[in-house]
Amino acid sequence: MVDIRLRGNDDSGLTDEQIRVAVRDSIEGLDRTIKNALIIPPDFTRYHSGAGKLTEMYYTLLKDGCNVDILPALGTHMPMSDEERTEMFGNEIPKECFIDHNWREDVVKIGEVPSDFIEEISEGLMKESVDVEVNKLLVSGKYDIIISIGQVVPHEVVGMANYSKNIFVGCGGKNMINSTHMLGAVYGMERLMGKDHSPVRKVFDYAEEHFAKEIPLMYVLTVTTEHQGEIAIHGLFIGRNRGVFEAAVALSQEKNLTFVDEPFKKVVVYLNEREFKSTWLGNKAIYRTRMAIADDGDLIIIAPGVRQFGEDEGIDKLIRKYGYVGRDRVLELYNTEDELRTNQSVAAHLIHGSSDDRFNITYAVEHLTREEIEGVNFQYMPLEETYRLYDPNKLKDGYNVLKNGEEIFYISNPALGLWVDRKKFEEG
């Protein structure tokens, strides 16, 4: 059984040659002949995962001896554009190798997590069973190896992203996606972010143990950071057993968690316009900083690429209709509105994206109007005005003192970390 656990020795991370050797060793360590392979990387919203480089390496290694298909783990996200695909995966992989996952239509049910288990792990907050659905290609019997590539990093729904989440959500169906998002929301994301063994992770572990044993999976997990636009892969963990995930979790907690001594009074977060085109994704700026922001503090999100709220038209309409109105109000609406009960991931997202009036959230955009932003319960600031006050080209990650004497904390990429008051993290 393949079990590779590789850590870099310094801040620059692993070299391409170290990664390439690990990729080769992982294939040579398999006890099967490979005629058909399926690679499952993240999409462009996880550009900084290093998965583009790894996907290209696996494709190059396998392509001459077998057929290779690539199924990006889209979850509910919109399919990648040709430009995004080329930027992330390079020019060597033909477009026809890529398959779009449709979370509403392309899935089959392979099992069910029972209601009594859900009730137990949620402390009685949820009692409904959860269907385990995956893209039908994973259980087609066509593939000799399915290589799931992704980044382990703090996450607002599951605690620590990737491993089996890449399969059961990234390649999953409506019931699993909706139910687990709602489970994480009602349990409380501040109780689980940055930690293993959350209720949502226990659902994925149950599904992995009971229903996925016959899927020929191999997980390829990275831990990365970014400094001045350069991605460093600090760890590469390859195998099927949970131990490789736990090793990646430990390294991510070391590299991707920033503990603060005093809560931030003002945080400015920049969202790269190529990666963040909706608040559905852009609200990572809220999730990853909320445990470090002071009461009555301010979060300003510079979002030049955000042009919609949901990743598809149906979700977008629901967000516009109900807005980010706080946990208590969303739960009231959830109990009375059928369209929220049948779209649990939207209800969960609305909870995640609200500060519950504890701190102020301002979106600085140019593709949405003041009325649209304020209509979902955010504050609005014109993008150009924000650039004059907080120019990302002049700010450094961390504390900055502006010309007017104001102190802010700046984050250039919220997707790569979690900023948290240590006391809140330990008590959560």
Rounded CA separation 268/266 (Å): 7
CB atoms within 10 A of CB 359: 21
Evaluate if pTM is beyond 0.95.
no
Q: At what angle do helices 16-28 and 51-62 cross, to 10 degrees?
A: 50
Identity of the amino acid at 59: Y
Q: Do domains 3-255 and 259-427 have the same CATH topology?
A: no
Measure CA of the first residue to CA of the last residue in the chain; give whole Å. 36
Longest dimension (CA), the chain: 65
Identity of the amino acid at 161: A
CB atoms within 10 A of CB 266: 19
Edge to edge, what strands does the sheet with 398-401 contain?
379-382, 360-365, 293-302, 264-270, 407-411, 398-401
Contact 252, 380 (CB under 8 A): no
**Domain spanning 3-255, CATH class:** alpha beta
| Tens digits of pLDDT across the chain (428 residues) | 899 999 998 788 999 999 999 999 999 999 889 999 999 999 887 888 889 999 999 999 999 999 999 999 998 888 889 899 999 998 899 999 999 999 889 999 999 999 999 999 999 999 999 999 999 999 999 999 999 999 999 999 999 999 999 999 999 999 999 999 999 999 999 999 999 999 999 999 999 999 999 999 999 999 999 876 788 999 999 999 999 999 999 999 999 999 998 899 999 999 999 889 999 999 999 999 999 999 999 999 999 999 999 988 999 999 999 999 999 999 999 999 999 999 999 999 999 999 999 999 999 999 999 999 999 999 999 999 999 999 999 999 999 999 999 999 999 999 889 999 887 777 66
Superfamily of domain 259-427: LarA, C-terminal domain (3.90.226.30)
Cα–Cα–Cα angle for 210, 211, 214, rounded to 5 degrees: 115
Domain ranges for the chain, please list them. Answer: 3-255, 259-427
